């Protein structure tokens, strides 16, 4: 897949040589409590929309501030060698999400070694609504999540392993790093609030490390 680096929504922060590994858990409705849930019927699953916040003491009028609705589209993820790229066609953004090797050493073409981790430089949350990722071809993936709160650190993140039989829904304000497929290329149905506000954490800049997401199911 062709990718123009000029289209990347955010320029990655690099230059660090430390990684914090986010422990792996199997994604289930029980383990995802507080973060979200698994989804079997993506087209009819309700996406939470958060009302626009009041700016002062006067409240937002009833039946207003939450009418932006839901947008949806194809969210494509692909590995180009040791670099993970993505394009969210629902909102028209492209990303460089991370690497399986230190970015200064990441190879562009085919590699002779399997990917064991993804080094993620950034995560975000959406204050305006939830987001659903549904794998269209049953491909397994992992995603790091953390519960709401702006004082988030790498230690707050857990990697959730999804076997590809279900979609993953994330509540508003829940931190999420990149969806990382095990396959070279994966396609997801993405459904989310049309406003698509983002609040971000830059791990390399703020904490001097990358968030390391293991590319393996939990032991046992």
DSSP string, 156-207: G-EEEEE-SSSEEEE-TT-EE---EESSSEEEEEEEEESS---EEEEHHHHH
Q: Torsions phi, psi of 14, nearest 5?
A: -130, -170
Measure the CA–CA gap between 158 and 161, rounded to whole angstroms: 10
Greatest C-alpha distance within the chain: 61
The owner of tokens 């993804």 is 118
Quote the percentage of the chain above a pLDDT of 70.
Answer: 95
Pick the CATH number of 5-50+67-214 from 2.60.120.480, 1.10.150.530, 3.40.640.10, 2.40.50.1070: 2.60.120.480
Q: Say yes or no to pLDDT of 5 above 70.
A: no
Return the ∠ at Cα 19 (arms to 15 and 23), rounded to 5°: 155
Q: Say yes or no to pLDDT of 114 above 90.
A: no
Measure the CA–CA gap between 39 and 86, rounded to whole angstroms: 22
Question: Could you tell me which residues come within 8 angstroms of residue 134 by beta carbon, excluding any fewer than 6 positions away?
Answer: 39, 42, 167, 168, 188, 189, 190, 191
Predicted confidence at residue 10, as pLDDT, reads: 86
Here the tokens at position 72 are 């949806």
Q: Torsions phi, psi of 155, nearest 5?
A: -65, -15
Domain spans, the chain: 5-50+67-214
Where residue 69 falls among pLDDT bands split at 50, 70, 90?
Answer: very high
User: Does the predicted TM-score (pTM) go above 0.85?
Assistant: yes
Parallel, antiparallel, or unpaired: how do β-strands 180-181 and 122-125 relate? unpaired
Q: Say yes or no to pLDDT of 21 above 80.
A: yes
Q: 214 has which bridge partners?
A: 117
Tell me which of 171 and 10 has the higher pLDDT.
171
């Amino acid at each position: 897949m062709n990718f123009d680096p000029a289209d990347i929504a955010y320029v990655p922060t690099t230059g660090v040589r430390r990684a914090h590994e986010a422990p792996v858990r199997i994604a289930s409705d029980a383990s995802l409590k507080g973060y979200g849930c698994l989804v079997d019927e993506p087209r009819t699953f309700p996406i939470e929309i958060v009302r626009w916040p009041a700016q002062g003491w006067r409240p937002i009028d009833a039946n207003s501030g939450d009418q932006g609705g839901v947008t949806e589209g194809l969210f494509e993820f692909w590995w180009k060698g040791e670099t993970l790229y993505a394009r969210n066609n629902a909102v028209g953004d492209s990303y460089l999400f991370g690497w399986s090797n230190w970015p200064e050493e990441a190879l562009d073409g085919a590699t002779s070694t399997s990917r064991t981790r993804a080094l993620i430089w950034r995560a975000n949350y959406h204050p305006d609504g939830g987001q659903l990722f549904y794998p269209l071809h049953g491909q397994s993936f992992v995603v790091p999540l953390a519960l709401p709160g702006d004082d988030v650190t790498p230690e707050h993140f857990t990697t959730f392993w999804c076997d590809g039989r279900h979609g993953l829904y994330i509540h508003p304000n829940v931190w999420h790093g990149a969806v990382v497929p095990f396959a070279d290329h994966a396609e997801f149905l993405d459904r989310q609030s049309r406003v698509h506000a983002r609040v971000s954490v830059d791990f390399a800049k703020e904490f001097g490390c990358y968030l390391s997401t293991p590319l393996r199911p939990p032991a046992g």
